[in-house]
Structures are given as structure tokens and as C-alpha cells.
Amino acid sequence: MKDYLKGSLIAFLLWVFTLWILGFLISGCPKDGCTSNDTRCFNGHPQVCGNSQNWTNVVDNCPPDSVCCRTLSPYSTPASPRELYACVPAGVCLPNDTGEQRSNDAGD
């Protein structure tokens, strides 16, 4: 009877371990931990956080004479301002921007 219980316990632990491994594999890559729809500048490129909580480049390169910085969304209203990071002319960057302000003139 002890052998039966020992075998059952081992089978149960293997089953739990298998489920844990499957859960890890299904979850995919490690998450960045960002909040969906957040934006940021990274290496001169605007990025958005997707539903998978990972950052994704919005564009490969900002156009010439533009920088990646914090600015107001075109969908902002005075009653509901929405800030985001995007490729824009340097003159429309918000004051006290802590994001990157790298020009794309050098072919970044």
C-alpha cells in the first residue's frame, strides 16, 4: 500500500510540474511590465505598450527634422489632455520632457 501512495504522489507531482512548464511556455516571452497603451521613447523611436505588456516600436525611424518626445495627442481636448511620446517637430515637445529628444538627421 505504501508503494501505491508513493507512486500516486510522484505521479501527482509530475502532473503539477508538467502544468507549470506548459504554463510557462504558453505565456511566451517575459513581460516588460508596462501598462497597455502607454508610450515612451527608446533609442530615438516611439514605442507603445501592447496588451501583452511588451513594448513595440511604432515606427522604425522618426522622419528627418523630427524628434521622439512627449507631446499632446491630436485627440486631446482642453478638458481631457492626453500626452504621449511620438515623432514630432522639436517645437511641439512638452516642457520638462524626460523622454529622449534625438534628431533623426544622422539616420538613426
User: Measured between alpha carbons, how far apart are the two ends of the chain, in Å?
Assistant: 70
**Prediction pTM value:** 0.59
**pLDDT tens for each residue of 38-50:** 999 998 889 999 8
DSSP string, 30-58: PP--PPTT-EEEETTEEEEE-TTS-EEES
pLDDT, tens digit, 9 for 90 and up, residues 57-104: 988 889 988 999 999 998 888 898 899 999 999 899 998 755 555 444
The domain ranges of the chain are: 1-30, 31-108
Mean pLDDT of 18-38: 68
